[in-house]
Amino acid sequence: MNDIQYPKGAIKCLDKGFIRLVDSMGSDDAIVQAARVSYGKGTTKVSRDKGLIRYLLRHRHSTPFEMVELKFHAKMPIFVARQWVRHRTANINEYSLRYSEAQRDFYIPEKKDIHFQSQFNKQGRDGREVPPELKEKVINYFNEISEKTFAIYNELNEAGIARELARGILPVNLYTEWYWKNDLHNIFHFLRLRMDEHAQYEIRVFAEAMASFVKKVVPIAYEAFEDYSINGMYFSKLERDLIKTRLPDRIFDDLKDEVIYRIVASLNENKNRNEIELYSLYQENGGIDCKDDFNIKWKAGNIETDNVFEMREFLQKLTIL
């Protein structure tokens, strides 16, 4: 345990770090408001707003997301800050080691986070268990180098050496602190890269904590971000060609059929139709089952509903494939 004082509302990250939301400008409403300048007014029903936000994110229409801004206060090891600072669109103000003396806050990894170098990923760790005595050694070295360099740093400070030079002796596991402000579009970009399993564990911890704040400020946009960006998938030409040539036509036909039924069920949910209208609706949307088959499937129930626009776009993609 350490006796670090965490600011109110902060989420603790790693052994001595934290992140907290200082301020925010705008919410889901600000995205909709900005988008409507380009798309025209229309209804302001929540479901429509949600559909619009999801449409914008799905189609990478990014500028409305730049209307929302969030400002964070974070404390992280310097080696994490070095990765974080690569996201160039943010506004940053960092604790100055030219002006102020360094605090004795060093990152010491927990035993569970000590792993061997991955044999497959040059940038990562792997799952092989590190023997306890080697873990102990790692922690001892982290502690030893931190204590030793901090003692030298203090000695140089006391001798009157300029702080801007004396800090050069300190290692990159020293904690630094900053205010970091960015717009939602670029925060999503940051989160997508830094919450990914390929990102280093130590920055992932901060990205995940940041995400929990973002989710509260823009719940609808965050859900869309999760659906399309985090959990969505992009296919290259090679991958698309393989899918196209290797998957039998009946798979595509089944998928199209499922989507058409979902479109009809969703349209029916929005505006209740009688039985005759339903079959026409099914045909208008490209359904090819005969009326009897349609009725059997329809009456069996449990057809899931979804966003009609999105389902139609998916149908188009399946057709292009």
Ligand X SMILES: Cc1cc2nc3c(=O)[nH]c(=O)nc-3n(C[C@H](O)[C@H](O)[C@H](O)COP(=O)(O)OP(=O)(O)OC[C@H]3O[C@@H](n4cnc5c(N)ncnc54)[C@H](O)[C@@H]3O)c2cc1C
Residues that bind ligand X (CB under 6 A): 86-89, 123, 186, 189, 193, 198-199
Which lies closer to ligand X via its Cβ, residue 49 or residue 69?
Answer: 69
CA distance 233 to 72: 29
Which lies closer to ligand X via its Cβ, residue 86 or residue 244?
Answer: 86
CA distance 254 to 18: 49
CB of 138 to ligand X, least distance (A): 23
Which lies closer to ligand X via its Cβ, residue 91 or residue 319?
Answer: 91
CB of 192 to ligand X, least distance (A): 9
Which lies closer to ligand X via its Cβ, residue 33 or residue 83?
Answer: 83
CB of 316 to ligand X, least distance (A): 27
DSSP H or E stretch at residue 34: helix 28-39
Give the pairing type, strands 17-25 and 175-183: unpaired
20, 194, 204, 240: the catalytic one is: 194
Residue nearest ligand X by beta-carbon distance: 88
Query: How far are the Cα atoms of 7, 21, 256, 313, 316 from residue 320, in angstroms, in the given order?
Result: 53, 44, 12, 11, 6
Angle at 214 between CA 208 and CA 220, to 5 degrees: 120
CB of 229 to ligand X, least distance (A): 13
Burial class (CB in 10 A: 0-12, 13-18, 19+), 41: exposed
Which lies closer to ligand X via its Cβ, residue 167 or residue 189?
Answer: 189
Phi and psi angles of residue 254, each rounded to the nearest 5 degrees, phi first: -60, -45
Beta bridge partners of 11: 19
CB of 193 to ligand X, least distance (A): 4
Are 270 and 263 a contacting pair, CB within 8 Å?
no
| Placement of tokens 């979902």 in the chain | 262
Is 194 annotated in the active site?
A: yes
- What the block records as the tokens of 307 is 């966003």
Catalytic sites, residue numbers: 194
